[in-house]
Amino acid sequence: MTRTKTLRGAVVVVAATALAACSSSSGGTSTSGGSPTSGGSLVMARADEATSLLPSVPTDNASIWIIEELYDTLTTPAQDGKGVTPSLATSWKQSADKLSWTFHMRTDAKFTNGQPVTSADVVFSIKQNQKADAPFSFIDSVVTKMDTPDAHTVVFHTKEPWAPLPADMALYANSIVPKNYAGMSASAFASSPIGSGPFKFKNWTKGSSLTIVKNAKYWKKGTPRLDSVEFTVVPDSNTRSTQLASGQIGINEYPANSSIKSLQNQPNISVNTFPSSEVDYLGMNTRRKPLSDLNVRKAISQAIDKDAILKAVLYGYGKVANAYLSPTTWAHDSSLKANTYDVAAAKATLAKSSVPHGFSTTITIPSGDQNSSSEAQLVQSDLAKIGINVTIKTLDPAALVTAKHAGNFDMAFGLYTTDIVDPDEIARFAGTYDGGVQTLYSGFKSAQMDKLAATASRASDQSTRKAAYDQMQQIMANNVPYVTLFYVPGVYSYSKKVHGFQPGATGNYFLEKVWMSK
């Protein structure tokens, strides 16, 4: 999942100022109000607009998180991100030869056009995501063939034993749509989507708002409780804050970190951070000298005062990272010792390298991103202390992506999140050369990492898998192809009238559980 690019400078303005208006009185403790009631319309203000509601098309969170409300998937991520729970599928089992998975589906699920959800719809849907130009086709590339023994059973044949398949099936891009888009063209379907999820698409005014309404025939009886949810597009974080304070909206997605403290003082507003799989890192191009030298990379990682950056830029909302796999996955190794901040040690490490007295290099940051700019300036001054002279370069976000793919940079910040709850996707994406983007553009290549990733995805027993992932995290820590910086949570502020809102580690809103008190 990606966060949409914006020229951040452009949107901070409005009411960095506006907050001043609504931050004075101190609030009492939050009272979670009574038993769930039905009804009510929720308005959620978000910075970015959705780009498409066709499951196999978008990659931006703004689209993904709405798609997850409109459609069902065979499985659904557990709230804590440590596994999957039944959804359209009630049970699933790997075959004895480990080369296929059989999913049994519930029989009472219906699309909002009245059509029952069948195995034929599943096959059609997965095929959409296997198309060459689908962004997440790589997730389903392991599926070689699908069988439908009956209307409510699907068998997936896999290239090799594939433990992550149930988690793959929870991916939004594998949402179940009616076969042949219920007779519509893909673009017609995208503008009036039909799913079997808790909510039904109502309308979308591009540039300002998108509304979904309760699916009264949703198979999970008693849910959803809300009558409707409107997603509005408000790029400026401070405008969102003012709107929340005035009761115009119910939920503000991602209030600015700098504003959280004053938000917490407001009586009718809750601010909460939810564990997210986001990991921020400082990427290095190991194909270039002297970053190709392990001691140089290690020295850099020891010289950066991560705590200071966390405090100055993220206002403490986050945790200094020790391992490349985030704590939201069961594969995270909490015992791993990261290269901790120690200037003397950094100097000593650099002294052992090919450039004992330092060198000159660059950090490229996306233009308009004030956080990256602050981070870069702090890193610049940290590295100066051990004799590394850093020049900051800026590139507009799209050009920076191209430069990273082309290996045309020395150092650059980045972040990664997982799209599925199984550690497989992110362990490969951030840890292997071919599993993503040359190990986060670093060019770091390790046959051992590839082997361990394969071992982990083939093995069906958790302890074998965990051992492999622990080893992978150790290898990354030893080789420092990039500096893992922080685990960053998702932050939401919302009215105290909103209850049961608890986004999952992969970002899913789970709006069917939300209700509003009067």
Where in 149-208 is the site for other proteins (CB under 8 A)? Answer: 187, 190, 205-208
**Pairing relation of β-strands 269-284 and 482-495?**
antiparallel
Closer by beta carbon to other proteins, 45 or else 300 = 45
CB of 471 to other proteins, least distance (A): 24
Report the helix count and the strand count for the chain, using DSSP H and E: 16, 19
Return the closest-CA partner of residue 422 out of 380, 458, 378.
458
Q: What is the Cα Rg of the chain in Å?
A: 24
134 touching other proteins, by CB under 8 A: yes
97 touching other proteins, by CB under 8 A: no
368 touching other proteins, by CB under 8 A: yes
283 touching other proteins, by CB under 8 A: no
CB of 251 to other proteins, least distance (A): 16
8-state DSSP, 426: H
Which residues lie below 8 Å from residue 293, measured CB to CB, with a gap of 6+?
A: 353, 354, 355
How far is CA 212 from each of CA 179, 186, 201, 203, rounded to the nearest angstrom? Answer: 22, 20, 5, 7
Binding other proteins (rule: CB under 8 A), the pick from 153, 228, 377, 517 is 377
Binding other proteins (rule: CB under 8 A), the pick from 33, 116, 135, 443 is 135
Closer by beta carbon to other proteins, 312 or else 467 = 312
User: Which of these segments, 25-33, 235-243, 290-298, 325-333, binds other proteins (CB under 8 A)?
Assistant: 235-243
CB of 358 to other proteins, least distance (A): 17
Distance CA 143, CA 158 (A): 5
Binding other proteins (rule: CB under 8 A), the pick from 52, 153, 264, 455 is 52
**Look-up of token digits 């030298």:** 293
Distance CA 505, CA 330 (A): 12
264 touching other proteins, by CB under 8 A: no
Binding other proteins (rule: CB under 8 A), the pick from 123, 233, 260, 475 is 233
Q: How many residues bind other proteins (CB under 8 A)?
A: 85
CB of 128 to other proteins, least distance (A): 13
Return the closest-CA partner of residue 364 out of 410, 402, 406, 407.
410
Closer by beta carbon to other proteins, 205 or else 354 = 205
CB of 287 to other proteins, least distance (A): 18
One-character DSSP codes across 351-376 = HTSS-TT-EEEEEEEETT-HHHHHHH
Helix (H) or strand (E) holding 427: helix 424-431
Closer by beta carbon to other proteins, 51 or else 272 = 51
288-327 footprint of other proteins as x/- string (CB under 8 A)? -----------------x--x--xx---------------
User: Which of these segments, 24-32, 134-142, 292-300, 337-345, binds other proteins (CB under 8 A)?
Assistant: 134-142
Q: What are phi and psi of 506, to 5 degrees?
A: -95, 10
Residues 413-432 that bind other proteins (CB under 8 A): 419, 429
Binding other proteins (rule: CB under 8 A), the pick from 27, 60, 148, 446 is 60
How far is CA 219 from each of CA 14, 35, 64, 198, rounded to the nearest angstrom? Answer: 43, 22, 22, 8
The torsion region of residue 254 among left (phi > 0), alpha (psi -120 to 50) and beta comes to: left
Closer by beta carbon to other proteins, 198 or else 387 = 387
User: Which of these segments, 101-109, 125-133, 458-466, 493-501, binds other proteins (CB under 8 A)?
Assistant: 125-133
At how many degrees (to 10) do helices 370-384 and 294-303 cross? 110
437-476 footprint of other proteins as x/- string (CB under 8 A)? x---------------------------------------
In this structure, the number of other CB atoms found within 10 A of the CB of residue 133 comes to 7
CB of 432 to other proteins, least distance (A): 13
- What is the length of the chain? 518
User: Which of these segments, 194-202, 218-226, 231-239, 477-485, binds other proteins (CB under 8 A)?
Assistant: 231-239
Instruction: Supply 83's token pair.
Output: 């596994």
**Look-up of token digits 């799989």:** 277
CB of 360 to other proteins, least distance (A): 15
User: Residue 215 half-sphere exposure, CB side, CA atoms within 13 Å?
Assistant: 25
